[in-house]
């Protein structure tokens, strides 16, 4: 079974402005990924880094919507370790932001098959890093893998 890790932006995407074509396409792709997880066709992993970022969503209504979705998904937890912390520090040398580096380190620790994000800068930065996982946009993931 495919193992995937969704960046925080993926949990937010279904609640963003869906009148924008790119956002709508990504939201639909993410919903497809969620359905595949619910049908046990792939496994989605989570971490305390995602928990933290969701808790920091400024708009209360959106935060509650994202929390409800996230909690309903029954995701597999990746436990924080010193190895994850050190790998995140190492990844920052590739101009990867702190939280993004932490997400990638969590995903790598479980040899996740695909790290899915809507963040084009992160996708580009990850190409410079020596990652053990593939970083991909949700639309590309659905088109190439599912």
The helix/strand/coil state of 110 is coil
Could you tell me what percent of the chain has a pLDDT over 70?
A: 100
pTM as predicted: 0.96
Q: Which long-range contacts (CB under 8 A, 24 or more apart) does 107-110 make?
A: 107/5, 107/45, 107/78, 107/133, 108/132, 108/133, 109/78, 109/81, 109/83, 109/84, 110/3, 110/5, 110/45, 110/78
pLDDT in tens, 14-32: 999 999 999 999 999 999 9
User: What gap in Å lies between CA 78 and CA 104, rounded to an integer?
Assistant: 12
User: What gap in Å lies between CA 40 and CA 38, rounded to an integer?
Assistant: 5
Average pLDDT of 5-10? 97
Q: Are 105 and 85 contacting, i.e. CB atoms less than 8 angstroms apart?
A: yes
For domain 2-144, which CATH number applies: 3.40.50.1370, 3.40.50.1010, 3.40.50.970, 3.30.420.10?
A: 3.40.50.1010
Q: What are the domain boundaries of the chain?
A: 2-144
């Amino acid at each position: 079974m495919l193992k995937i890790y969704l960046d925080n932006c993926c949990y937010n995407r279904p609640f963003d402005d869906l009148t924008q074509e790119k956002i709508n396409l990504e939201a639909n792709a993410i919903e497809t990924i969620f359905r595949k997880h619910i049908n046990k066709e792939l496994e989605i992993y989570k971490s305390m880094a995602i928990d933290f970022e969701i808790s920091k969503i400024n708009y209360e209504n959106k935060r509650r919507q994202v929390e409800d979705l996230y909690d309903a998904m029954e995701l597999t937890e990746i436990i924080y370790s010193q190895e994850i912390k050190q790998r995140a520090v190492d990844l920052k040398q590739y101009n990867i932001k702190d939280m993004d580096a932490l997400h990638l380190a969590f995903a790598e620790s479980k040899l996740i098959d695909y790290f899915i994000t809507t963040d084009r800068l992160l996708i580009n930065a990850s190409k410079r890093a020596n990652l053990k996982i593939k970083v991909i946009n949700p639309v590309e993931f659905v088109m190439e893998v599912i």
